[in-house]
Amino acid sequence: MTVHKFSVATADGATRSLSDYAGKVLLIVNVASKCGLTPQYEGLESLYRAGKDRGLEILGFPCNQFGGQEPGTNAEIQEFCSTTFDVTFPVLAKVDVNGPDADPLYSYLRAEAPGDTDSDDVKWNFTKFLIGRDGKVLRRFEPTVTPEEIQPEVDALLD
């Protein structure tokens, strides 16, 4: 099993197969527009621009499960990301990452990289999952780990 077996909803309501990203390094992040960590969008975009021509894709999944910090519609989220942070990596449809309605991709990611607590739940917005070119989950980074801090690890996978 790999992330390439999953399909996800795009912000415009279409479906995208993650098999489209086979052969690429993925960073999957649950994001929010009204979070203290929202400025990480800037670092994620910088990481994306530095690595996209070398096989990096970043996929943002808006989530409103943490303090109601992503209350907007998919269209509002797209507008915010574009105008506030000039985000060019895909920001997909809003999802739940924990609980009974968690997106199946996130259930898989949590099981493959459970984190550093007794629960495999995602703790907060901007939790990052690093995926190898083969679609296997390599590592989970907790929300306070910045894109700048993980850049060396990402770069090593792109070389």
Q: Are strands 56-62 and 25-31 parallel, antiparallel or unpaired?
A: parallel
Indicate if 63 belongs to the active site. Answer: no
Interatomic CA distance for residues 157 and 31, integer angstroms: 23
CA distance 4 to 18: 5
Q: Check 11, 27, 32, 35 and give the catalytic one.
A: 35
d(CA 71, CA 60): 15
Smallest Cα–Cα separation from 46: which of 91, 92, 87, 90?
A: 87
Instruction: Tell me whether strands 15-17 and 25-31 are parallel, antiparallel or unpaired.
Output: unpaired
Q: How far apart are CA 79 and CA 86, in angstroms?
A: 10
Q: Can you read off the two tokens belonging to residue 120?
A: 């495999």
Residues with active-site annotation: 35
